[in-house]
Amino acid sequence: MPEGTARVEKTAEVTVTAGGTSRTLTGYTVVGLDLLPTPTWMNPDGSWFGLVSEWFSVVAEGWESVIEPPVARQREQSRARDARLATEYAHKPPAAGLAYTHARVLDVERGRWLPPGRAAAGAGASVARSAGLGS
């Protein structure tokens, strides 16, 4: 397992209506089985409602029209998770910049790799290169 253990988290509730019948679905996410969380939805009685995504969904016949609300909720949760992880794991270069030695740099204007040298990236994400390894 990617995280060592698996866990199930209750994530959301969504009320949907199809054919004049309303249900409040409860969303759960299984974390740790795959690289990304696996969402699933349950009926109020605890039985499985389905699996929904923008690409592929499995729900009971007659409930196909209510796929979008759970998908929208999952999308919100995914974006929030991505933002949290980006903040948590982001590495910012030091204020003085960052130097890579023995670096090959792609010169996109000339369409060729430059021989190994030193490349430095500053806070503005620009790259400057010096030709000599010792410079």
Whats the size of the chain, residue-wise?
135
Instruction: Quote the Cα angle for 59-27-69, to 5°.
Output: 65
- Residue 82 DSSP class: H
pLDDT tens column, 38-79: 999 999 999 999 999 999 999 999 999 999 999 999 999 999
Domain boundaries, the chain: 7-89, 98-130
* pLDDT score, position 85: 93
* pLDDT score, position 103: 80
Straight-line distance from the first to the last Cα atom of the chain, in angstroms, rounded to the nearest whole number: 46
- Which residue from 28, 34, 32 is spatially nearest to 51, judged by alpha carbons? 28
Q: What residue has token string 């699933």?
A: 40
Asked whether the beta carbons of 67 and 86 are under 8 A apart, the reply is no
Reported pTM: 0.67
Is the confidence at residue 33, as pLDDT, over 90? Answer: no
